[in-house]
Structure 1
């Protein structure tokens, strides 16, 4: 786990500073760029924005109201600690969303493409910062967690389904063109969120083939404190038998792996690949 993640978990003041900063950035994206263009964000804020367009009720208050029955179900089916933390975050987010409702008046651009792009970027960065602290803003996260617990439905599938419904509502209310721009904003938001959430914390699988496999493996275990697996390998052309080193490390440990391998064998064959998910000793399960 990276030093950034450790600091966020151990320091409560730093954690909530990042949460509030993330929520503020997300609110600027939603209220400053998306709502003025009649574009919807994902989840409960998107549903709240749709109702706000029709009723002019404060979007922060609507977000709070929609979350009330969701949290009632959450307290019934989910861990209480998770729900209490999410409830605090939801109240913070609803308040910030309400306070920034009219911020769009201070942002001069009226280009709908720019609004969908920058609204998506800001809302994604903000949400990613909140998720980086292993926190939730409630809403669809609670619904997705309940369905995962009760029906074993992946959380991403639930979130995707809810967002499709929101896009459909946007299409009915504002027409196909705005619904398509909403999709652009949602795609950009999801990409920005994943980038921020996983920044400096991507996992990589590494394979090393070398005549000095024992020395390389020893240093990986002693210096990086990572587990190493030996696999029997044989060259198809030379028929030379060697030990193939296989291990999974954080992306910021890759340079050290290369340094160790090349220190013992300048001709080491090194392969690095992306890993979407890791469970087991030495790795924490991804949050959301």
Structure 2
């Protein structure tokens, strides 16, 4: 059976890795380049939608208080009404494909961001107060660790806010809280992962592609339709390593902007 649950040892190994504060703060020796840069031939991100806020349990990794470079950081316990103003920066090619603080893979073409103390994951509305542009991102990493900067945007999010040319911008961030569904409070949550391949206004084409990808990769597929947009998904997967392997196959098949999303499903 292709979709298999991770063993206890696998999850223990993953948990041990993701407790580390990596992402934006890790030493440059881990990366193929020393200084962060934009991609040489960037993929178009015009089609990318804002992150869609939903209830997600906080990650096992990346959510403990920590000390870095002599400074102590305390994770925010209650995010309701949380706002903050300061400077935003962005990170791209140097960190692309490496682990974020909660063990996901950083994809500079996803609508994500890093914050020093917000719980992971969190959904944040970011407003560029220099030009009035806004977007919604999903925080899944730690950083930026530079004085005066409050959030590190992915390449895609920085593009949406017109921050790429200036490098930094004045922003206001507002946390979007999504309450746990009432029925979910009574049931145990089982982590699952899905791969979002593409979004299209053409339902029939998306459904045909879903069938084709499912047959080629021997995994389940489905289409999420909302407001005239149809998202092609693969999964769900219980094994994160298998999800990553499938994601690489999807990218080789011609969908380099595909990315992994974590969801929860109540145990029946």
Place the TM-score, normalised by the shorter chain, in its bin: under 0.3
Higher helix fraction (1 or 2): 1
Higher strand fraction (1 or 2): 2
**CA radius of gyration, larger in:** 1
TM-score (norm 1): 0.26
